Structure 1
Amino acid sequence: MNKKRRLALAIGAGIAPLLVVTMPVTPAGAHGYVSSPPSRQAQCAAGTIDCGPIKWEPQSVEGPKGLTGCSGGNSRFAELDDDSKGWKVTPIGHTQTFTWRLTARHATSTWQYFAGGKKVAEFGGGGAQPPETVTHTVNFGSVTGRQKILAVWNIADTANAFYACIDVTIGS
Protein backbone atom coordinates (compact mmCIF):
# COMPACT_ATOMS: atom_id res chain seq x y z
CA MET A 1 0.00 0.00 0.00
CA ASN A 2 1.48 3.37 -0.93
CA LYS A 3 2.09 6.18 1.58
CA LYS A 4 -0.71 8.44 0.26
CA ARG A 5 -3.31 5.70 0.63
CA ARG A 6 -2.17 4.87 4.17
CA LEU A 7 -2.27 8.54 5.10
CA ALA A 8 -5.79 8.89 3.66
CA LEU A 9 -6.98 5.82 5.62
CA ALA A 10 -5.42 7.13 8.83
CA ILE A 11 -7.03 10.54 8.40
CA GLY A 12 -10.39 8.93 7.61
CA ALA A 13 -10.15 6.70 10.68
CA GLY A 14 -9.30 9.72 12.82
CA ILE A 15 -12.13 11.89 11.50
CA ALA A 16 -14.89 9.24 11.57
CA PRO A 17 -15.46 9.37 15.36
CA LEU A 18 -15.69 13.17 15.21
CA LEU A 19 -18.31 12.99 12.49
CA VAL A 20 -20.39 10.54 14.52
CA VAL A 21 -20.34 12.87 17.52
CA THR A 22 -21.01 16.09 15.60
CA MET A 23 -23.56 14.92 13.02
CA PRO A 24 -27.16 15.88 13.82
CA VAL A 25 -29.30 13.09 15.15
CA THR A 26 -32.32 12.23 13.02
CA PRO A 27 -35.56 11.57 14.86
CA ALA A 28 -36.33 7.97 15.66
CA GLY A 29 -39.04 6.26 13.68
CA ALA A 30 -40.68 5.28 16.93
CA HIS A 31 -43.43 6.99 18.83
CA GLY A 32 -46.30 5.32 20.69
CA TYR A 33 -49.16 2.84 20.88
CA VAL A 34 -51.83 1.56 23.27
CA SER A 35 -50.38 -1.29 25.29
CA SER A 36 -53.34 -1.97 27.61
CA PRO A 37 -55.86 -3.26 26.85
CA PRO A 38 -53.75 -4.72 24.04
CA SER A 39 -54.16 -2.83 20.78
CA ARG A 40 -53.85 -4.62 17.48
CA GLN A 41 -50.21 -3.58 17.14
CA ALA A 42 -49.49 -4.67 20.74
CA GLN A 43 -50.96 -8.08 19.86
CA CYS A 44 -48.66 -8.23 16.83
CA ALA A 45 -45.60 -7.28 18.89
CA ALA A 46 -46.44 -9.93 21.50
CA GLY A 47 -46.90 -12.61 18.83
CA THR A 48 -50.57 -13.10 19.79
CA ILE A 49 -51.48 -12.58 16.12
CA ASP A 50 -49.22 -13.34 13.16
CA CYS A 51 -48.44 -9.98 11.55
CA GLY A 52 -45.98 -8.41 9.15
CA PRO A 53 -43.52 -5.58 9.89
CA ILE A 54 -45.73 -4.03 12.57
CA LYS A 55 -44.48 -6.83 14.86
CA TRP A 56 -41.12 -5.07 15.05
CA GLU A 57 -42.38 -1.48 15.30
CA PRO A 58 -45.81 -1.29 16.98
CA GLN A 59 -45.13 2.35 17.90
CA SER A 60 -44.86 3.49 14.26
CA VAL A 61 -48.51 3.71 13.17
CA GLU A 62 -48.36 7.37 12.16
CA GLY A 63 -50.34 9.25 9.55
CA PRO A 64 -52.06 12.56 8.84
CA LYS A 65 -54.52 13.78 11.46
CA GLY A 66 -58.19 12.97 10.87
CA LEU A 67 -57.91 9.39 9.60
CA THR A 68 -60.23 6.65 10.83
CA GLY A 69 -58.30 3.47 10.03
CA CYS A 70 -56.19 1.36 12.35
CA SER A 71 -53.15 1.58 10.04
CA GLY A 72 -53.00 5.38 10.05
CA GLY A 73 -53.06 5.23 6.26
CA ASN A 74 -49.67 3.47 6.27
CA SER A 75 -49.73 0.72 3.61
CA ARG A 76 -46.93 -1.20 5.40
CA PHE A 77 -49.33 -1.75 8.29
CA ALA A 78 -52.53 -2.33 6.27
CA GLU A 79 -53.23 -5.64 7.99
CA LEU A 80 -54.17 -3.64 11.12
CA ASP A 81 -57.29 -2.60 9.15
CA ASP A 82 -58.31 -6.26 8.57
CA ASP A 83 -61.20 -6.88 10.96
CA SER A 84 -61.29 -10.59 10.05
CA LYS A 85 -57.72 -11.29 11.22
CA GLY A 86 -58.76 -12.87 14.54
CA TRP A 87 -57.82 -10.05 16.89
CA LYS A 88 -58.09 -10.86 20.59
CA VAL A 89 -61.16 -9.15 22.05
CA THR A 90 -60.84 -7.81 25.61
CA PRO A 91 -63.96 -7.70 27.81
CA ILE A 92 -64.27 -4.34 29.57
CA GLY A 93 -66.80 -2.44 31.66
CA HIS A 94 -68.51 0.81 30.70
CA THR A 95 -65.43 2.63 32.02
CA GLN A 96 -61.95 1.56 30.95
CA THR A 97 -58.42 2.87 31.45
CA PHE A 98 -56.23 2.86 28.34
CA THR A 99 -52.44 2.94 28.65
CA TRP A 100 -50.21 4.41 25.95
CA ARG A 101 -46.53 3.40 25.80
CA LEU A 102 -44.54 6.25 24.26
CA THR A 103 -41.09 5.68 22.78
CA ALA A 104 -40.67 9.23 21.46
CA ARG A 105 -42.57 11.83 23.45
CA HIS A 106 -44.01 14.50 21.17
CA ALA A 107 -45.76 17.69 22.22
CA THR A 108 -49.43 16.75 22.34
CA SER A 109 -52.54 18.62 21.27
CA THR A 110 -55.16 15.96 22.11
CA TRP A 111 -55.84 12.30 22.73
CA GLN A 112 -59.12 11.04 21.25
CA TYR A 113 -61.13 7.82 21.55
CA PHE A 114 -63.80 6.68 19.08
CA ALA A 115 -66.31 3.82 19.25
CA GLY A 116 -68.56 3.02 16.31
CA GLY A 117 -67.12 5.99 14.43
CA LYS A 118 -68.24 8.47 17.12
CA LYS A 119 -65.93 10.32 19.47
CA VAL A 120 -66.56 9.15 23.03
CA ALA A 121 -63.70 10.97 24.80
CA GLU A 122 -61.05 13.62 24.28
CA PHE A 123 -58.22 14.64 26.58
CA GLY A 124 -56.19 17.80 26.10
CA GLY A 125 -52.42 17.70 25.95
CA GLY A 126 -51.86 21.45 26.20
CA GLY A 127 -48.92 21.27 23.79
CA ALA A 128 -46.84 19.60 26.50
CA GLN A 129 -44.47 16.68 26.13
CA PRO A 130 -46.09 13.68 27.89
CA PRO A 131 -44.32 11.13 30.11
CA GLU A 132 -43.32 7.69 28.74
CA THR A 133 -46.61 6.19 29.94
CA VAL A 134 -49.95 7.97 29.59
CA THR A 135 -53.30 6.69 30.86
CA HIS A 136 -56.83 7.87 30.17
CA THR A 137 -60.03 6.59 31.74
CA VAL A 138 -62.81 6.56 29.17
CA ASN A 139 -66.51 6.30 30.02
CA PHE A 140 -68.40 4.66 27.15
CA GLY A 141 -71.84 5.66 28.45
CA SER A 142 -74.55 3.69 26.64
CA VAL A 143 -72.15 2.10 24.10
CA THR A 144 -72.20 -1.69 24.56
CA GLY A 145 -71.22 -4.90 22.85
CA ARG A 146 -68.33 -5.68 20.54
CA GLN A 147 -66.53 -2.50 19.49
CA LYS A 148 -63.36 -1.52 17.70
CA ILE A 149 -62.01 1.43 19.67
CA LEU A 150 -59.87 3.86 17.67
CA ALA A 151 -57.40 5.70 19.90
CA VAL A 152 -55.66 8.74 18.39
CA TRP A 153 -52.69 10.73 19.70
CA ASN A 154 -52.67 14.11 17.90
CA ILE A 155 -49.25 15.74 17.85
CA ALA A 156 -49.13 19.48 18.56
CA ASP A 157 -46.31 20.57 16.28
CA THR A 158 -46.89 18.44 13.16
CA ALA A 159 -49.81 17.53 10.90
CA ASN A 160 -49.60 13.91 12.05
CA ALA A 161 -51.19 11.64 14.62
CA PHE A 162 -50.58 8.13 15.93
CA TYR A 163 -53.31 5.52 15.66
CA ALA A 164 -54.21 2.37 17.59
CA CYS A 165 -57.26 0.11 17.45
CA ILE A 166 -58.36 -1.95 20.40
CA ASP A 167 -60.95 -4.70 20.05
CA VAL A 168 -63.24 -4.89 23.08
CA THR A 169 -66.60 -6.09 24.28
CA ILE A 170 -68.13 -3.35 26.46
CA GLY A 171 -70.36 -4.30 29.38
CA SER A 172 -69.49 -7.97 29.49
Structure 2
Amino acid sequence: MPARRKAAAVVAGLAPFALTPLAAVPASAHGSMGDPVSRVAQCYAEGPESPRSEACRAAVAAGGTQALYDWNGIRIGDANGRHQELIPDGRLCSANNDEFKGLDLARADWPATSVSSGSYTFRYRVTAPHKGTFKVYLTKPGYDPAQPLGWGDLDLANPVATATDPVASGGFYTFSGTLPERTGRQLLYAVWQRSDSPEAFYSCSDVTFGGGDPGGSAAGATPAPSASAPSEEQIEEGTDRSTVEHHGHGDDDAGTSAEPVAGEVRAAGSSQHLAETGTDGSTSYLAMGGAATLAVGAAVLFGSVRRRAANGGSRNGR
Protein backbone atom coordinates (compact mmCIF):
# COMPACT_ATOMS: atom_id res chain seq x y z
CA MET A 1 0.00 0.00 0.00
CA PRO A 2 1.44 3.46 -0.93
CA ALA A 3 2.57 5.56 2.01
CA ARG A 4 -0.18 8.16 1.55
CA ARG A 5 -2.89 5.52 1.50
CA LYS A 6 -1.48 3.98 4.68
CA ALA A 7 -1.59 7.35 6.48
CA ALA A 8 -5.12 8.00 5.27
CA ALA A 9 -6.21 4.61 6.56
CA VAL A 10 -4.74 5.37 9.99
CA VAL A 11 -6.55 8.74 10.13
CA ALA A 12 -9.84 7.10 9.11
CA GLY A 13 -9.40 4.49 11.83
CA LEU A 14 -8.87 7.16 14.46
CA ALA A 15 -11.80 9.34 13.42
CA PRO A 16 -14.56 7.44 15.28
CA PHE A 17 -12.59 7.70 18.51
CA ALA A 18 -12.09 11.43 18.02
CA LEU A 19 -15.85 11.91 17.94
CA THR A 20 -16.55 9.75 21.01
CA PRO A 21 -16.87 11.48 24.46
CA LEU A 22 -14.29 10.25 26.93
CA ALA A 23 -15.86 7.64 29.20
CA ALA A 24 -13.49 8.14 32.13
CA VAL A 25 -14.91 11.48 33.27
CA PRO A 26 -15.63 11.13 37.01
CA ALA A 27 -19.08 11.59 38.46
CA SER A 28 -19.41 14.90 40.25
CA ALA A 29 -22.75 15.20 41.98
CA HIS A 30 -22.59 17.42 45.03
CA GLY A 31 -25.03 19.04 47.37
CA SER A 32 -26.44 19.66 50.84
CA MET A 33 -29.69 20.98 52.26
CA GLY A 34 -29.85 24.75 51.94
CA ASP A 35 -33.19 25.46 53.62
CA PRO A 36 -33.41 24.47 56.40
CA VAL A 37 -29.65 24.86 56.21
CA SER A 38 -27.60 21.78 57.03
CA ARG A 39 -25.04 21.69 59.82
CA VAL A 40 -22.11 21.53 57.44
CA ALA A 41 -23.37 24.38 55.25
CA GLN A 42 -24.10 26.48 58.34
CA CYS A 43 -20.59 25.99 59.70
CA TYR A 44 -19.10 26.74 56.29
CA ALA A 45 -21.14 29.95 56.17
CA GLU A 46 -19.68 30.97 59.54
CA GLY A 47 -16.17 30.58 58.16
CA PRO A 48 -14.14 27.34 58.34
CA GLU A 49 -11.11 29.01 59.93
CA SER A 50 -12.98 30.87 62.67
CA PRO A 51 -16.63 29.80 63.07
CA ARG A 52 -18.78 31.95 65.34
CA SER A 53 -20.88 29.34 67.09
CA GLU A 54 -19.57 27.00 69.77
CA ALA A 55 -21.01 23.99 67.98
CA CYS A 56 -19.22 24.75 64.72
CA ARG A 57 -15.99 25.48 66.56
CA ALA A 58 -16.32 22.09 68.25
CA ALA A 59 -16.96 20.45 64.87
CA VAL A 60 -13.74 21.95 63.49
CA ALA A 61 -11.82 20.89 66.59
CA ALA A 62 -13.05 17.33 66.09
CA GLY A 63 -12.71 16.98 62.33
CA GLY A 64 -10.71 19.90 60.99
CA THR A 65 -11.57 22.68 58.57
CA GLN A 66 -11.41 20.63 55.36
CA ALA A 67 -14.79 19.08 56.11
CA LEU A 68 -16.37 22.52 55.85
CA TYR A 69 -14.68 23.35 52.56
CA ASP A 70 -16.04 19.99 51.36
CA TRP A 71 -19.55 20.94 52.56
CA ASN A 72 -21.24 19.44 49.49
CA GLY A 73 -19.56 16.04 49.69
CA ILE A 74 -21.16 14.07 52.55
CA ARG A 75 -21.87 10.96 50.56
CA ILE A 76 -21.47 7.21 50.08
CA GLY A 77 -20.44 6.15 46.60
CA ASP A 78 -22.01 2.68 46.63
CA ALA A 79 -25.02 3.31 48.88
CA ASN A 80 -27.66 2.01 46.48
CA GLY A 81 -30.39 2.50 49.08
CA ARG A 82 -28.50 0.67 51.86
CA HIS A 83 -28.42 3.70 54.14
CA GLN A 84 -29.21 1.99 57.45
CA GLU A 85 -26.88 -0.88 56.62
CA LEU A 86 -23.91 1.36 55.89
CA ILE A 87 -24.38 4.14 58.46
CA PRO A 88 -24.35 3.14 62.15
CA ASP A 89 -26.24 4.97 64.89
CA GLY A 90 -24.41 8.05 66.04
CA ARG A 91 -22.83 8.60 62.60
CA LEU A 92 -25.83 9.76 60.56
CA CYS A 93 -24.76 13.37 60.03
CA SER A 94 -21.31 12.34 58.76
CA ALA A 95 -22.63 9.34 56.78
CA ASN A 96 -19.98 7.37 58.67
CA ASN A 97 -17.21 9.41 57.03
CA ASP A 98 -14.39 10.34 59.42
CA GLU A 99 -13.73 13.60 57.61
CA PHE A 100 -17.14 14.86 58.77
CA LYS A 101 -17.19 13.31 62.24
CA GLY A 102 -17.48 16.72 63.89
CA LEU A 103 -21.03 16.97 62.55
CA ASP A 104 -22.07 13.98 64.67
CA LEU A 105 -21.39 15.77 67.95
CA ALA A 106 -24.42 15.46 70.24
CA ARG A 107 -25.10 19.05 71.29
CA ALA A 108 -28.16 21.15 72.03
CA ASP A 109 -26.63 24.35 70.68
CA TRP A 110 -26.28 23.71 66.96
CA PRO A 111 -27.51 26.79 65.07
CA ALA A 112 -31.08 26.06 63.99
CA THR A 113 -33.76 27.28 61.60
CA SER A 114 -37.13 28.27 63.08
CA VAL A 115 -40.01 26.35 61.46
CA SER A 116 -43.72 25.69 62.05
CA SER A 117 -45.93 22.70 61.38
CA GLY A 118 -47.63 22.66 58.01
CA SER A 119 -46.44 23.09 54.43
CA TYR A 120 -42.74 23.74 53.98
CA THR A 121 -40.67 24.47 50.87
CA PHE A 122 -37.32 22.71 50.98
CA ARG A 123 -34.36 24.06 49.04
CA TYR A 124 -31.46 21.71 48.41
CA ARG A 125 -28.24 23.44 47.33
CA VAL A 126 -26.81 21.51 44.39
CA THR A 127 -23.58 22.02 42.50
CA ALA A 128 -24.14 19.23 39.94
CA PRO A 129 -27.71 18.15 39.03
CA HIS A 130 -28.60 14.47 38.83
CA LYS A 131 -31.58 12.21 38.48
CA GLY A 132 -32.65 10.81 41.81
CA THR A 133 -35.02 10.89 44.77
CA PHE A 134 -34.96 13.06 47.87
CA LYS A 135 -36.43 11.88 51.15
CA VAL A 136 -36.50 14.08 54.23
CA TYR A 137 -37.20 12.62 57.69
CA LEU A 138 -38.02 14.39 60.95
CA THR A 139 -37.08 13.27 64.43
CA LYS A 140 -39.80 11.80 66.63
CA PRO A 141 -41.39 13.60 69.58
CA GLY A 142 -39.07 13.40 72.55
CA TYR A 143 -35.91 13.71 70.47
CA ASP A 144 -32.95 14.68 72.66
CA PRO A 145 -30.27 16.62 70.75
CA ALA A 146 -27.81 16.01 73.59
CA GLN A 147 -27.79 12.30 72.70
CA PRO A 148 -26.14 10.78 69.58
CA LEU A 149 -28.57 10.68 66.67
CA GLY A 150 -29.72 7.16 65.78
CA TRP A 151 -31.99 5.75 63.11
CA GLY A 152 -34.57 5.04 65.81
CA ASP A 153 -34.82 8.79 66.49
CA LEU A 154 -36.21 9.40 62.99
CA ASP A 155 -39.80 8.81 61.86
CA LEU A 156 -38.68 6.70 58.91
CA ALA A 157 -42.22 5.46 58.16
CA ASN A 158 -43.44 8.99 57.46
CA PRO A 159 -40.98 11.15 55.51
CA VAL A 160 -41.99 14.80 55.62
CA ALA A 161 -40.98 15.23 51.97
CA THR A 162 -40.34 12.98 48.98
CA ALA A 163 -39.34 14.31 45.57
CA THR A 164 -38.16 12.45 42.47
CA ASP A 165 -36.24 14.27 39.75
CA PRO A 166 -37.07 17.85 40.76
CA VAL A 167 -35.77 20.55 38.41
CA ALA A 168 -32.66 22.46 39.48
CA SER A 169 -33.11 26.22 39.29
CA GLY A 170 -30.73 28.92 40.47
CA GLY A 171 -28.47 26.36 42.12
CA PHE A 172 -31.24 24.70 44.13
CA TYR A 173 -33.62 21.78 43.92
CA THR A 174 -36.90 23.05 45.35
CA PHE A 175 -39.67 20.75 46.53
CA SER A 176 -42.54 20.83 49.00
CA GLY A 177 -43.26 18.83 52.11
CA THR A 178 -45.37 18.93 55.25
CA LEU A 179 -44.00 19.28 58.76
CA PRO A 180 -46.10 17.59 61.46
CA GLU A 181 -46.77 18.93 64.94
CA ARG A 182 -43.63 19.14 67.04
CA THR A 183 -42.29 21.37 69.77
CA GLY A 184 -38.83 22.62 70.56
CA ARG A 185 -35.63 21.46 68.93
CA GLN A 186 -35.81 18.76 66.25
CA LEU A 187 -33.69 17.58 63.34
CA LEU A 188 -34.40 16.97 59.64
CA TYR A 189 -32.38 14.25 57.94
CA ALA A 190 -32.20 14.41 54.14
CA VAL A 191 -31.17 11.56 51.86
CA TRP A 192 -30.57 12.16 48.15
CA GLN A 193 -30.29 8.80 46.39
CA ARG A 194 -29.24 9.06 42.79
CA SER A 195 -31.05 6.86 40.26
CA ASP A 196 -28.25 6.98 37.67
CA SER A 197 -25.64 5.75 40.16
CA PRO A 198 -25.52 4.00 43.56
CA GLU A 199 -24.16 7.23 45.09
CA ALA A 200 -26.19 8.97 47.81
CA PHE A 201 -25.83 12.24 49.74
CA TYR A 202 -26.85 12.99 53.32
CA SER A 203 -27.39 16.04 55.51
CA CYS A 204 -28.61 17.03 58.98
CA SER A 205 -30.57 20.26 59.48
CA ASP A 206 -31.33 21.50 62.99
CA VAL A 207 -34.71 23.18 63.44
CA THR A 208 -36.84 24.58 66.24
CA PHE A 209 -40.63 24.50 66.34
CA GLY A 210 -42.67 27.18 68.02
CA GLY A 211 -40.08 29.95 68.02
CA GLY A 212 -37.93 30.47 71.09
CA ASP A 213 -34.18 30.40 71.12
CA PRO A 214 -33.01 28.83 67.81
CA GLY A 215 -29.56 28.25 69.22
CA GLY A 216 -30.70 26.07 72.09
CA SER A 217 -30.85 26.92 75.75
CA ALA A 218 -29.71 23.73 77.41
CA ALA A 219 -28.06 24.12 80.79
CA GLY A 220 -24.52 25.37 80.35
CA ALA A 221 -24.92 25.97 76.61
CA THR A 222 -24.25 29.37 75.05
CA PRO A 223 -27.07 30.34 72.67
CA ALA A 224 -25.91 30.04 69.06
CA PRO A 225 -26.92 32.34 66.19
CA SER A 226 -29.81 31.48 63.94
CA ALA A 227 -28.83 29.29 61.03
CA SER A 228 -27.93 30.88 57.70
CA ALA A 229 -26.81 29.30 54.44
CA PRO A 230 -23.51 30.25 52.76
CA SER A 231 -23.70 32.98 50.13
CA GLU A 232 -22.74 32.47 46.50
CA GLU A 233 -19.63 34.54 47.16
CA GLN A 234 -18.60 32.28 50.04
CA ILE A 235 -19.14 29.17 47.94
CA GLU A 236 -17.08 30.63 45.11
CA GLU A 237 -14.30 31.76 47.43
CA GLY A 238 -13.97 28.30 48.97
CA THR A 239 -13.85 26.38 45.70
CA ASP A 240 -10.06 26.38 45.56
CA ARG A 241 -9.93 24.70 48.98
CA SER A 242 -12.53 22.04 48.17
CA THR A 243 -11.28 18.54 47.40
CA VAL A 244 -14.79 17.74 46.17
CA GLU A 245 -14.72 20.42 43.48
CA HIS A 246 -11.18 19.55 42.46
CA HIS A 247 -11.53 15.80 42.19
CA GLY A 248 -15.19 14.94 41.88
CA HIS A 249 -16.32 11.65 43.37
CA GLY A 250 -15.35 9.20 40.67
CA ASP A 251 -11.57 9.37 40.81
CA ASP A 252 -11.07 6.76 43.50
CA ASP A 253 -14.54 5.30 43.60
CA ALA A 254 -15.72 3.65 40.42
CA GLY A 255 -19.07 2.98 42.02
CA THR A 256 -20.03 6.62 41.66
CA SER A 257 -19.78 6.63 37.88
CA ALA A 258 -22.62 5.61 35.65
CA GLU A 259 -23.23 5.11 31.96
CA PRO A 260 -24.68 8.25 30.36
CA VAL A 261 -28.45 8.44 30.17
CA ALA A 262 -29.92 9.33 26.79
CA GLY A 263 -30.57 13.05 26.46
CA GLU A 264 -29.32 15.94 28.48
CA VAL A 265 -30.69 18.52 30.86
CA ARG A 266 -29.85 22.15 31.34
CA ALA A 267 -29.80 23.68 34.79
CA ALA A 268 -32.42 26.40 34.88
CA GLY A 269 -30.94 29.85 34.69
CA SER A 270 -27.80 28.50 33.05
CA SER A 271 -26.62 28.13 29.47
CA GLN A 272 -24.52 25.12 30.44
CA HIS A 273 -25.75 21.70 29.41
CA LEU A 274 -25.51 19.01 32.06
CA ALA A 275 -25.72 15.33 31.26
CA GLU A 276 -28.24 13.55 33.41
CA THR A 277 -25.44 11.59 35.02
CA GLY A 278 -23.87 14.83 36.15
CA THR A 279 -21.02 15.07 33.66
CA ASP A 280 -21.06 18.72 32.72
CA GLY A 281 -19.97 20.63 29.66
CA SER A 282 -16.38 19.60 30.34
CA THR A 283 -17.22 16.21 28.81
CA SER A 284 -17.74 17.72 25.39
CA TYR A 285 -14.63 19.87 25.79
CA LEU A 286 -12.63 16.79 26.71
CA ALA A 287 -14.04 15.02 23.67
CA MET A 288 -13.07 17.93 21.43
CA GLY A 289 -9.66 18.04 23.07
CA GLY A 290 -9.25 14.33 22.39
CA ALA A 291 -10.32 14.83 18.80
CA ALA A 292 -7.81 17.64 18.40
CA THR A 293 -5.05 15.52 19.91
CA LEU A 294 -5.82 12.63 17.60
CA ALA A 295 -5.92 14.97 14.62
CA VAL A 296 -2.50 16.40 15.49
CA GLY A 297 -1.12 12.91 16.01
CA ALA A 298 -2.51 11.80 12.68
CA ALA A 299 -1.00 14.82 10.95
CA VAL A 300 2.39 14.07 12.48
CA LEU A 301 2.09 10.44 11.41
CA PHE A 302 1.05 11.49 7.92
CA GLY A 303 4.01 13.87 7.67
CA SER A 304 6.34 11.17 8.95
CA VAL A 305 5.12 8.74 6.31
CA ARG A 306 5.57 11.34 3.60
CA ARG A 307 9.12 12.07 4.78
CA ARG A 308 9.94 8.39 4.84
CA ALA A 309 8.54 8.00 1.37
CA ALA A 310 10.53 10.98 0.15
CA ASN A 311 13.72 9.73 1.77
CA GLY A 312 13.14 6.29 0.36
CA GLY A 313 12.61 7.80 -3.08
CA SER A 314 15.85 9.72 -2.84
CA ARG A 315 17.74 6.64 -1.79
CA ASN A 316 16.20 4.65 -4.63
CA GLY A 317 17.23 7.33 -7.09
CA ARG A 318 20.86 7.25 -6.03
Structure with the higher fraction of residues in strand conformation: 1
Alpha carbons of 1:130 and 1:31: their partners in 2 closer, same or farther (altered >3 Å)?
farther
Match of residue 54, structure 1, among 59, 67, 80 = 67
Alignment of 1:64-143 (within 5 A): 64=79, 65=81, 66-67=83-84, 69-84=92-107, 86-95=109-118, 96-108=120-132, 110-116=133-139, 117-119=154-156, 120-125=159-164, 128=165, 130-131=167-168, 132-143=171-182
Identity fraction in percent: 31
3-state SS of paired residue (2:185): strand
Larger radius of gyration: 2
TM-score, with structure 1 as normaliser: 0.74
Which letter maps to 1:152?
V
1:36 aligns with 2:49: no
3-state SS of paired residue (2:72): helix
3-state SS of paired residue (1:118): coil
1:26 aligns with 2:31: no
TM-score, with structure 2 as normaliser: 0.42
Alpha carbons of 1:171 and 1:157: their partners in 2 closer, same or farther (altered >3 Å)?
same
Q: Contact 1:105 / 1:129 at 8 angstroms: preserved in 2?
A: no
3-state SS of paired residue (1:80): helix
Residue 228 of structure 2 corresponds to none
Which letter maps to 1:118?
D
Offset at residue 85 of structure 1 (A) = 7.8
Q: Gapped runs of 5+ residues in structure 2? A: 1-21, 140-153, 212-318
3-state SS of paired residue (2:95): coil
Q: Contact 1:106 / 1:130 at 8 angstroms: preserved in 2?
A: no
Q: Gapped runs of 5+ residues in structure 1? A: 1-21
**CA distance, structure 1, for counterparts of residue 200 and residue 23 of structure 2:** 28
Q: Contact 2:183 / 2:210 at 8 angstroms: preserved in 1?
A: yes
Q: Contact 2:111 / 2:206 at 8 angstroms: preserved in 1?
A: yes
